[in-house]
Structure 1
């Protein structure tokens, strides 16, 4: 998620693995994803802050300047915006935090929350006589901006409209910890496919949204049968890649697979939401592992170079190698045999 606007100067510094072109130093603002336990616990503001801090502590907490914490028991256009997003945006503006350009690092539903922010923050702040935030890019891990089929199922079950068989019960329990009820579905309603794709689908702010995507499940594959195409255990590739439509996709690229195999991907995403640019894909990374500190295998590039809306380019160094065992060429990001997905991305900051 990374490196962008006109006022952004691209530095020549590189990661120790010489993987990325650096994008300079810009404040990092974290926006976390769904926290299922909050649907039942319904924490107060202090609890929301504590949960937000814990969410990122494995890797990103020490590398960020600010966070926008929000409660999963509420709705994006409701109290999430009025009671949590707005006060933080006001604070960031008054402190001139983003004067030189901020980068928002998001995970999961944080992708959707941030899209709402991008569509509204300028008007909100101007109406208060404040300077809008200069958000130069977002770095979106496991983005749920396209919704999750699991949310549709969870809400349907909570409202009594679905058949809760043993397999679905296990899938929802592994993902959420417990089966939701009609009293505590909160942001799950915004995560339903049709609802998610109607929330600020074409934000006025032309902010490049760079995507980092996984293709492994942390739930023993139990949730995957409920998600079309390839998935990370919580969201399908159509969402995490930033596809313009929901569908059965097997890669964020038409020319390279999640595992790095260089070959035509007939079900690869070819049409994306505005300003969405998938960059890195890792077939060993599950939904939460993308922002963690555990190495889950080599990473490939959906595109080795991405031209952003401001005319600048982000590039990643990759190497191709022939596999006699698979009788195919595989492409991997240099250094990814040792560095985690988050370590590779943090170098951009």
Structure 2
């Protein structure tokens, strides 16, 4: 009898614990003033294996490290389609319609994007009001986007891939870089690879009427043994160059999003910094501690710095507490600026914490 009671007690405690965890997870998203909507980046597995793709499940897996439990909604899309084609009509539009009908963004939504999600978001910002009003629905109140390693300016890797896969250009270096990036053999240039070509990406909804702030979070770390970086202009995160992740108005070689601080936090004049940005693009965070695939996950931690701070989103100032650190002395003396606690907290956690 005692064992039975003990077992029932453990089961009850387990149920209560599970309910409590569920409440905490839902409260995490609900505690924000604005609803969080996720838009993932390029799912390379869908390029390599279209028939084996599960778009919704892939979307969930993409964000499972950190953001899934903290978000209110997700917009999933297939990499084998085009942004202005079936991605917009068959995937984005039904989700926008659902979000409008449920009044999800009545108090405001923040879109959190990674990589190509930046480009998808720009197309949404430019068109959602017209699409929804034409359907007799209320447009979404998108107050800002938080773009992590944004590929809205395109990636030179996509130019290389499309060129190689259409037979225009190929060599061993190109082949090795594409295998590292795409993770397998790709036999043809399909879908969003075409949209990610630098010139093509910059032609998609380049000047949205909506003045939605695009807050940029930039990685500058190395991956793929450095094989992909040689094809990218200026500093890069191994998939997109800083001209894209910073939100520069031109696709040139840049070293930093800020004229007076390097991506590693070194306070020093930057002669090759971005000076002109795409409309409403504001680079906030920069870090050499993260590469392209790490900045939206929870496992990695490392020092990050700021390019701009206290950017206004409606009546909220989005910014980070920072501290300065001196290393060396005399001629070897250097000053660095870091975001407080960034070496102990993932970039995603830092970003989530400043969403109103």
What TM-score results when the alignment is normalised by the length of structure 1? Answer: 0.89
8 Å Cα contact 1:159/1:181 also seen in 2: no
- Partner of residue 234, structure 1: 239
**For residues 66 and 312 of structure 1, do their structure 2 counterparts lie closer, same or farther at Cα, with a shift above 3 Å needed?**
closer
**Superposed CA offset, 1:142-200 (max 9, x none):** 000000000000000111001x2222211110000134333x52100000000000000
Aligned residue pairs: how many? 323
Flag the structure with more relative contact order, 1 or 2, with Cα contacts below 8 A and sequence separation at least 6: 1
8 Å Cα contact 1:317/1:334 also seen in 2: yes
Q: Which runs of 5+ in 1 are unaligned?
A: 1-22
- Partner of residue 49, structure 2: 41
Q: Distance in 2 between matches of 1:26 and 1:314?
A: 13
* Structure of greater Rg: 2
Following TM superposition, by how much is the alpha carbon of 1:294 offset from its aligned partner in structure 2, in angstroms? Answer: 2.0
Q: Distance in 2 between matches of 1:53 and 1:24?
A: 21
Q: 2:307 aligns with which of 294, 302, 309?
A: 302
Q: Distance in 1 between matches of 2:43 and 2:96?
A: 21
Following TM superposition, by how much is the alpha carbon of 1:41 offset from its aligned partner in structure 2, in angstroms? Answer: 2.3
- Partner of residue 321, structure 1: 325
Q: 1:199 aligns with which of 193, 197, 204?
A: 204
- Partner of residue 6, structure 2: none
Following TM superposition, by how much is the alpha carbon of 1:43 offset from its aligned partner in structure 2, in angstroms? Answer: 4.8
- Partner of residue 35, structure 2: 27
- Partner of residue 84, structure 2: 77
Q: Distance in 2 between matches of 1:226 and 1:335?
A: 34
8 Å Cα contact 1:169/1:179 also seen in 2: no
Following TM superposition, by how much is the alpha carbon of 1:24 offset from its aligned partner in structure 2, in angstroms? Answer: 4.7
- Partner of residue 18, structure 1: none
The answer to which of 170-179 and 250-259 deviates more is: 170-179
**Superposed CA offset, 1:112-144 (max 9, x none):** 011000000000000000000000010000000
SS in 2 for 1:279: strand
Q: Distance in 2 between matches of 1:270 and 1:193?
A: 19
8 Å Cα contact 2:40/2:116 also seen in 1: yes
SS in 2 for 1:290: coil
8 Å Cα contact 2:33/2:107 also seen in 1: no
Q: Distance in 2 between matches of 1:263 and 1:271?
A: 19
SS in 2 for 1:245: coil
Following TM superposition, by how much is the alpha carbon of 1:307 offset from its aligned partner in structure 2, in angstroms? Answer: 4.3
8 Å Cα contact 1:137/1:209 also seen in 2: yes
Higher helix share: 2
**For residues 41 and 295 of structure 1, do their structure 2 counterparts lie closer, same or farther at Cα, with a shift above 3 Å needed?**
closer
Q: Distance in 1 between matches of 2:345 and 2:72?
A: 23
8 Å Cα contact 1:219/1:233 also seen in 2: yes
1:1-349 pair list within 5 angstroms: 24-43=32-51, 47-162=54-169, 164-182=170-188, 184-307=189-312, 310=314, 313-324=317-328, 326-349=332-355
Provide the aligned C-alpha RMSD in A: 1.6
What TM-score results when the alignment is normalised by the length of structure 2? Answer: 0.88
- Partner of residue 9, structure 1: none
SS in 2 for 1:71: coil
